[in-house]
Amino acid sequence: MQRAKRASSLERALPSVKSDIAVMKNDIGVLKTDGSALTTDTNVLKTDVSVVKADVTVLKTDVSILKTDVSVLKSDVAVLKTDVSVLKTDVAVLKTDVGVLKTDVAVLKTDVAELKTDVSVLKTDVNTLKSDVAVLKTDVAVLQSDMIIVKTDVAVIKSNYATKTDVSDAKNAIIVWVMSAVFIAQLLPVFLKRVGL
């Protein structure tokens, strides 16, 4: 009797079990589809992970290079800071030098103005010396003429047997003339050198 009850109970539960089995089959089909999709996704993920690993390796290399570059840049920045400091010092020195040069140029301008005045005075002096030299040349020519006259007078005196007084006067005149000629002969080269002739 109990077996009958059990069988009856099982028969009643059978449609429900069949329904559950159908649902389970359906779920298994879905799971298989999902498993296939998961397998595909896993394969894609594996490929992606492989690509990411390759990218990470490249990135590691790039990061290593960047670290080296950053280190070089830091070094370069330190050098640039030093150079900028040196340049600042050089600019300060240049400013001081420019100030000194401005002062020197102002002094030079004053000196040039004075030199211009001095040159103007020298030109005037040279013109005066040229006039004096021209006068001296005329005086020398006159003295030469006088010497010829004196020589002639001495010759006349000699020929006329001049007295001692006449000879003494002639000697004095000759001495004066010779001294004048010597004096002018000594001064003339000095004047000519000064004038530049």
The pLDDT tens digits for 35-86 are 888 888 888 889 988 998 998 999 999 899 999 989 999 998 999 999 899 9
pTM, entire model = 0.35
Per domain, the residue ranges of the chain are 2-195
Dihedral-angle region of residue 10 (phi above 0 means left; psi in -120 to 50 means alpha; beta otherwise): alpha
Residue pLDDT, tens place only, 82-98: 989 999 998 899 999 88
| C-alpha separations of 29 from 26, 34, 37, 180 in Å | 5, 8, 12, 153
